[in-house]
Amino acid sequence: MDFFSLIFPPELGVAVGGGLLATSFVASFITVALGIGGGGLLLAVMATFLPPVALIPVHGVVQLGSNVFRAILLRGYVVWKPVLAFGIGSFLGVALGGLVAVELPPGLVLIGVGAFVIFSVLARPPSWLGRHGWLTGAISSFLTMFFGATGTFVATFTKSLELERHAHVATHAALMTLQHGLKIVVFGILGFAFGPWIFFLVAMIATGFLGTVAGRHVLVRMTDTGFKRALDVVLVLISLRLIWQGFGSLTQ
């Protein structure tokens, strides 16, 4: 067994695995520099190549690592008071979502992920979510069991705290760390085997950490709205492909 066979599962191969490592770097860079968007990009790209049954659990572990490092790097800016209420809601959300998630056909997973990412780009969660931390935690954590990237929902709550930019990114990272951590525990209880993916996950988290470090250096300067629009276009195009792929899977 060579080095690349050890890191990349047979479902991926070297070329696809290497591309996903690069995507992890870019996604973490975008999230730190722009405050949001990297998780959706990573999810959309991963959904193109990973088996649907592995998509949400594997994406969750990568996002956990990315958010942990982001929270550590910006730990002095984290506002901890809202985390408790959000955590209580998150526990309820992942527990309920775990009862349903395992029953979804793979095609519906792809369609749901694609539609949810498009919704996150084109729409905005209702403003009342930002006023209730436990409710935001419950709804977003329920959805993350099916669709993975619920950072936009959580960002609505974080935005309502009216924090300065560094504190917003740091607190959002702490909230997402909690949510993804609970999600991984539930998928483990449900029987998902993380073992075959462990080396790939470590590599994805490592490249994500490098992206976080790089993104931190441009956190203040990165305000290019044109870049955000370009990112939105890419997300929508990838998501439309996922929806097409999902319908194709259901009609076979």
Q: Dihedrals φ, ψ of 171, to 5°?
A: -70, -40
Q: Per-residue pLDDT for 145 more than 70? A: yes
C-alpha distances in Å from residue 193, one per residue of 1, 145, 147, 197: 21, 16, 19, 8
Q: How far apart (Å, rounded) are the C-alpha atoms in residues 231 and 233?
A: 5
| Number of domains composing the chain | 1
Q: Where are the alpha helices (DSSP H) in 74-164?
A: 83-101, 106-122, 133-147, 151-160
30-47 pLDDT, tens digit per residue, is: 777 665 667 778 888 888
- pLDDT of 185-218, one tens digit each? 999 998 888 888 899 999 999 998 888 788 777 6
Percentage of residues of the chain with pLDDT beyond 70: 82
The two three-digit tokens of residue 63, written as one number: 């996002």
Higher pLDDT, 130 or 64: 64
Q: How far apart are CA 1 and CA 4, in angstroms?
A: 8
pLDDT band, very low/low/confident/very high, at 125 (cuts 50, 70, 90): low
Please tell me what DSSP assigns to residue 81: T
Range of the domain at 72: 3-251
For residue 104, the model assigns a pLDDT of 66
pLDDT for the residue numbered 2? 57
Q: How much is the pTM?
A: 0.78
Contact 9, 47 (CB under 8 A): no
Is pLDDT above 80 for 87?
Answer: yes
pLDDT digits (tens, 9 = 90+) for 213-237: 887 776 555 555 555 666 577 667 7
Mean pLDDT, rounded, of the chain: 80
- Three-state DSSP class for residue 199: helix
Asked whether 129 and 139 are in contact (CB, 8 A), the reply is: yes
Range 106-127 average pLDDT: 73
114 pLDDT higher than 80: no
Buried-exposed string 182-195: b where 16+ CB fall within 10 A, e elsewhere? bbbebbeeeebeee
Distance in angstroms (rounded) separating the CA atoms of residues 217 and 228: 18
- Helix, coil or strand: residue 219: coil
Q: Which residues of 61-81 are buried (b: 16+ CB within 10 A; e: fewer)?
A: bbbbbbbbbbbebbeebbeee
